[in-house]
Amino acid sequence: MLSICLISTTTLAFIGVCLAFIGDNYLLIKIAFVLNYFIFITSYLYTALINPGIPKRSHYIGYLKNKNLGDKNNWKKCSKCNILIPKNFKVIHCNICEVCIREHDHHCPWTGKCIGKFNLFSFYIFVNSLMCYIIMIFVTFYGYMFYKGFNKINYKHKK
């Protein structure tokens, strides 16, 4: 629900600012808006849809066949998932998702899933592009309001 609000709000802001406020003379600003919006949506979808680092059981079964399981010092077991994990992997169990995540960073409410080894970089791109997008919207909006206000003042002095 939170991610739907995020996408719909930014889409409405994109349409409102980019298409309504910016005139035909500012093609470069429109291109910057579209490019940043594309990066924002793509990184959001990639972050939300990719496996964040949940260990696949088939991977560990193959790993177990090639390694000697008799050396228990090389393995650790998650008390909640009951999965054997090599000790050289940094794995943390997420209590919200109820799965183990490799190099767990946090559970993100915006994407509705954990941020881990495989989606951390795209999450950083998502957050930074969202921040740039919001800054672009405010600068464009307030620049437009300043420009319109400045033109009204000049128009009043000409009469």
Residues tagged active-site: 108
Q: Which of 13, 16, 18, 8 is nearest to 44 (CA)?
A: 8
The distance from CA 139 to its chain's CA centroid, rounded to whole angstroms, is: 22
Spell out the alpha helix ranges (H) of the chain.
2-14, 27-49, 57-66, 120-158
**94's tokens:** 């997420």
Residue 105's identity, in one-letter code, is D
DSSP 8-class letter at 9: H
Q: Which of 131, 128, 127, 106 is nearest to 117 (CA)?
A: 106
φ and ψ at 84, to 5 degrees? -85, 130
